[in-house]
Amino acid sequence: MRLTVLGSGTAVPHPRRAASSHWLEAAGGTLLLDCSGPAVHRMAEEGCDWANLDAVWVSHFHLDHVGGLAPFLFGTRHAPQTRERRKPLVVCGPRGTGKLLRRFDEAGGYKLFEQPFPVEVREVAPRAEFELLPGLAAETFSTPHTSESLAVRLTERSGTSLVYTSDTGFTEALAGFARAADLFLMECSFFRSKPIKTHLELEEAMRLARLSGARRVMLSHLYPEWDGADIAAEAKRLWDGETIEARDGLRLVVGE
C-alpha cells in the first residue's frame, strides 16, 4: 500500500496543514481516508488519479473530515475526466453517512447522485468485517470521539495492514485493535495538556503505540499547537519505535 498525506491538519485554517485527508493506493484500487474540503484540490495537486478513485472512507461527520464530500461529487458530476467513467464510487462510513449526503444534496438541489457512474453508499457498524476494495479487508472499531466515529483496520492479501484511528479520545482497546499493524496512522491533536477528552495528546498516543506493537506510527490531525515542535524527537522520548510526523505531501510505502 502507498499512502500520500493530503491533509495533516484539523478544522483550524493553517498555512501548511490542510484539513484531514489521506490517499491510499492498495492492490485492489484507491481509497480516500476522509474527504476534507481541501482534499478535493489536494488530490489534483499531488497528482492522485481522483477521477478513478474507487472508494471514500468516512470516519465520522465532523466537517474537517467530510467537508469535501459533496464538493467532490459536484466536481465529478461536471468534470470532463469522469464523463466516460462507469465503475462505481463507493462511499463507506458509519450509519448516517447516506442521510448526511442526501441532506447536503437536498440543501442546494445539487443532483450529487446523478453521475456518469453509480455512487454506492455503504454504511457499516462498529466491529464490522467486510471487503472495502477487492482484496482489501476492513474491520471497524467504535472510538470515543462522536457517537458515530469509527477507526478502521485495512489488511491486504499480502498481510500488510494499516490502522487509521481518525479522531479519537484515549482508550486502551484501540491498541488491541491496532495490534502489530504495519502502519498505525493515529491522530495526535495535541502535544500536552489537551483541552478536550475526545482527542489524543502525545503521551497517550505513544502509550497506544507501545501497547499495540505496531511496526511504525504516523501522527496526523495536528493542531497549530504543534507548530515549531520536533514531533518525531518528542515521540522518541516516550516510545522507542519509529514515529513519522505527517506533513502534507508526504508519501510512504506501507509494509516496507
Is the CB of 156 or the CB of 184 nearer to Zn ion?
A: 184
| Distance between start and end Cα atoms, the chain | 9
Q: Is 203 in the site for Zn ion (CB under 5 A)?
A: no
Edge-to-edge strand order for the sheet containing 2-7?
119-124, 89-94, 55-57, 29-33, 21-26, 2-7, 251-253
Cell 454506492 locates to 120
Q: Which is nearer to Zn ion, 42 or 62 (CB)?
A: 62
From the list 48-56, 103-111, 166-174, 210-218, the region that binds Zn ion by CB under 5 A is 166-174
Which residues have CB under 8 Å from 71's CB, separation 6+?
A: 37, 40
The three three-digit cell numbers of residue 108, written as one number: 442546494
5's grid cell: 498525506
Shortest Å distance, C-beta 14 to Zn ion = 13
What single letter denotes the amino acid at residue 233?
A: A
Cα–Cα distances in angstroms (integers) from residue 115 to residues 56, 75, 87, 104, 190, in the given order:
16, 10, 11, 16, 40
- Taking the complex as a whole, the smallest distance from the CB of residue 7 to Zn ion amounts, in Å, to 10
Stretch that binds Zn ion, among 66-74, 115-123, 151-159, 162-170 (CB under 5 A): 162-170
- The minimum distance between CB 204 and Zn ion, in angstroms, equals 16
Q: Is 194 in the site for Zn ion (CB under 5 A)?
A: no
Helix, strand, coil percent content, the chain, rounded in steps of 5? 25, 30, 45
52 vs 45: CA distance, rounded Å: 15
> Measured from the CB atom, is 54 or 65 closer to Zn ion?
65
Here's the x/- map for Zn ion, 215-234, by CB under 5 A: it reads as --------------------
Q: How near is the Cβ of 62 to Zn ion at its closest, in Å?
A: 3
* Nearest distance, CB of residue 226 and Zn ion, angstroms: 14
Is position 167 an interface residue for Zn ion (rule: CB under 5 A)? yes
Partners of residue 253 on adjacent β-strands: 2
Return the residues of window 43-72 that contact Zn ion according to CB under 5 A.
62, 64
- Please, what is the minimum distance in Å from the beta carbon of residue 68 to Zn ion? 13
Q: Which three cell numbers stand for residue 231?
A: 514531533
- Compare residues 62 and 216 and give the one whose CB is closer to Zn ion: 62
| Between 62 and 153, CB nearer to Zn ion | 62
Q: How far is the CB of 95 from Zn ion (least distance, A)?
A: 17
**Residues at the contact surface with Zn ion, assessed by CB under 5 A:** 62, 64, 167
